[in-house]
Amino acid sequence: MPLFIGIDPGSRVTGYGIVETTGQGIRYRGSGVIRVGGADAVPVRLVAIKRGIDGVIAEHHPAAVAVEDVFISRNPRSALTLGQARGVILLAAAEAGIPVFEYAPREVKSSVTGIGSAHKSQVAAMVVRLLRPGREIGCEDESDALAVAFCHALRAGVPSGRLR
């Protein structure tokens, strides 16, 4: 059964979530975060993010990687740094020969909650309800990444009525 990795890029905390599609629907397979030192220079953080994503890909051998698009912020410097983090994530997937799919934040939120403007706490609650991970999801970066993976699994053809 295909595994999909969803990634919520961040320049300090990058979340990842892994789901599996089965004849029964979409199941939780794992999740976590890659934390990098906030005091480190951007190039050092980018190397750490790339190595972390390389490790997740090597461990799980996904059929696809789904990445959340950059949310346009009011701070151009933050948007640029986030774009650089996304770039190393896209590079890691491309080097591994894995197809990459990108989703707008509104599309991800809508796929999980039915509302494109849902608050992060609503997304987190629905991720737990839909995927039943069997453990507490540590932070919003992790639940957002699971939401991206869930969104891709739905777009890849898993019937929405069969969620587990």
pLDDT tens string 3-53: 999 999 998 999 999 999 988 889 999 999 999 988 899 999 999 999 999
DSSP β-bridge partners for residue 15: 8, 33
pLDDT of residue 131: 95
Q: Annotated catalytic, 68?
A: yes
pTM for the full model? Answer: 0.92
Residue 124 contacts residue 133 (beta carbons within 8 Å) = no
Q: What is the pLDDT of residue 38?
A: 80
At 91, which amino acid appears? L
Over 70: is that where the pLDDT of 58 sits? Answer: yes
141 belongs to the catalytic site: yes
Residue 91 in this model has a pLDDT that exceeds 90: yes
Choose, from 8, 20, 142, 144, the residue flagged as catalytic. 8
8 in active site: yes
Q: Is the pLDDT of residue 124 over 70?
A: yes
pLDDT band at 74 (very low <50, low <70, confident <90, very high): confident
Query: Catalytic pick from 20, 40, 141, 144?
Result: 141
pLDDT of residue 99: 97
Q: What is the pLDDT of residue 159?
A: 53
**Which residue is associated with the tokens 């890849």?**
156
Q: Which of 20, 68, 142, 144 is catalytic?
A: 68
Residue 16 CB partners (closer than 8 Å, separation 6+): 5, 6, 7, 8, 31, 32, 33, 34, 53, 56, 142, 145
